[in-house]
């Protein structure tokens, strides 16, 4: 009994210390990623003074329905991509890339491999309920693909569900992605406010995106 007691206590202490360090590590990761998430610029601080929004409510989500240009008519904000591509990141922004996480190849080229011109791309927004809508990408009159988005109405906007994930496979693949977006309406045009904080690393290469935008997308004339 004495021998069991002597050997048991150190094992018990080591076990408790092990779980304590695991617990503290988990807490550290939690607060680290929580800090990153909230480092995204608040959407409530974004907007365009020259384009006041029309109130939209959950009682009538169809107020946002329509066919809009995928290329912004007006945009302001600050976006930074590392490593730099040499292009203006604001000008590269589109409605689709701000509203969905993964943009398919159909966004850039058609089935024959031909590059789709920006002026030929339109997005159709259609709400099926107060919390769900579909976004369809059209090349002129042809539907290329569609995607469902979820969120909720608040303060005259539809706030999309935040797009957040963490890749914890150190050192092979590590990174995080936090994106927020909301849509509103100004006259007949669509307003999108967007913020992003993204970083990723895989073996010997990595990249990041960080910033925010407010942009206007014109409604297609009927």
CA neighbor of 170 nearest in space, from 5, 2, 29, 18: 29
According to the model, what pLDDT value does residue 193 have? 97
Distance separating alpha carbons of residues 217 and 67, to the nearest angstrom:
10
pLDDT at 141: 87
- The model carries a pTM of 0.79
In this prediction, residue 185 carries a pLDDT of: 95
Residue 208 in contact with residue 198, Cβ under 8 Å?
yes
- DSSP letter for 93, please: -
The pLDDT value given to residue 88? 85
Model pLDDT, residue 166 = 78
Tokens 């292009």 locate to: 87
**pLDDT for res 121:** 93
The pLDDT value recorded for residue 15 is 58
pLDDT beneath 50, residues of the chain = 1-8, 11, 13, 20-21, 23-24, 27-28, 31-32, 35, 38
* 3-class SS of residue 52: coil
pLDDT in tens, 39-57: 567 888 888 988 999 999 8
Residue 130: what pLDDT?
Answer: 94
């Amino acid at each position: 009994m004495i021998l069991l007691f002597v050997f048991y206590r150190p094992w018990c202490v080591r076990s408790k210390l092990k779980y304590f360090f695991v617990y503290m590590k988990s807490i550290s990761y939690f607060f680290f990623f929580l800090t990153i998430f909230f480092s995204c610029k608040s959407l409530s601080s974004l907007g365009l003074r020259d384009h006041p929004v029309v109130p939209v409510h959950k009682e009538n989500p169809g107020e946002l329905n329509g066919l809009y240009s995928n290329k912004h008519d007006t945009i302001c904000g600050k976006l930074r991509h590392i490593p730099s591509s040499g292009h203006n990141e604001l000008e590269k922004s589109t409605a689709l890339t701000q509203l969905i996480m993964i943009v398919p190849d159909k966004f850039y080229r058609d089935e024959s491999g031909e590059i789709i011109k920006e002026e030929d791309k339109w997005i159709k927004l259609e709400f099926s309920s107060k919390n769900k809508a579909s976004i369809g990408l059209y090349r002129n009159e042809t539907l290329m693909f569609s995607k469902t988005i979820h969120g909720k109405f608040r303060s005259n906007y539809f706030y999309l569900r935040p797009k957040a994930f963490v890749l914890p496979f150190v050192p092979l693949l590590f990174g995080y992605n936090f994106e927020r977006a909301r849509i509103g309406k100004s006259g007949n045009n669509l307003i999108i406010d967007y913020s992003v904080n993204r970083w990723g690393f895989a073996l010997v290469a990595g990249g990041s995106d960080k910033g925010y935008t407010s942009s206007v997308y014109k409604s297609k004339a009927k």
